[in-house]
Amino acid sequence: EAGGECGMDFSYVPYDAYKQRELPDFVLNRTRDREVSRWYEERRVPVFHSSFLTEIGNHKGKTLAFLRGRLPEKILRTKWAPETLAVSKERLAQWQSALAAGDLEALHEVRRFQEEGEPFVMKSVDGHGGSEVLSFVPFSGADSGITLQQYCLDFNRRLGVLFGKDCLLQEMVSGSGRDIRVYVVGNRIYQAMLRQGQGDFRSNASLGGRAGAYSLSESEKEYIGQF
């Protein structure tokens, strides 16, 4: 309907039928599959988003690596991202074997969080909607009211949703349950949206979070401009 107002004819193309359709003037790829974008690019059809952006935008580890290599030094000197460690699906399987045996010490990656008593987050690199983002509170010994074996069993059970997935282990950031998304079109800020979780550290709408328009401050605009 919006396209019609601008003299543009849009049509929906099923994921399993795009190769059989006549080539369009341009494509809006909403599949999260970079191969769809690549197929059109090979035929010189403009795609939004490109295969490159579709790939890194749907892989949290690749997104961080890209930003780390491109952000200006002024940003990199600040706390611009949470402390992050990659946990491969093979390593995750080792975690689960250790937890099944009640061996929390074998999870070397979480040792710092255990020692400092800080909550941490586990998430799949390609998840969306928040269903594959989990928070954990370190085991605090006898004061917790549960045994180490009970803690390990619960930890292992919850990790089941990430089985077979490459993951990221991250520190829990302040202000959890609230985030701001800024939409930039043609290097111009188009709109900012505030997402707020409802009784959850995750702000995803699919998990009950709410979203509304947000007015950026001048300092926030200046910060965004550095990207």
Per-chain mean pLDDT for the chain: 92
Burial 3-27 (b: 16+ CB within 10 A, else e): eeeeeeeeeebeeeebeeeeeeeeb
Residue 227 or 189, more confident: 189
For residue 142, the model assigns a pLDDT of 67
Mean pLDDT of 46-74: 94
Q: What is the pTM of this model?
A: 0.86
Q: CA–CA separation, 217 vs 94, rounded Å?
A: 46
Residue-wise pLDDT tens digits, 65-81: 999 999 999 889 988 99
Confidence (pLDDT) at 201: 84
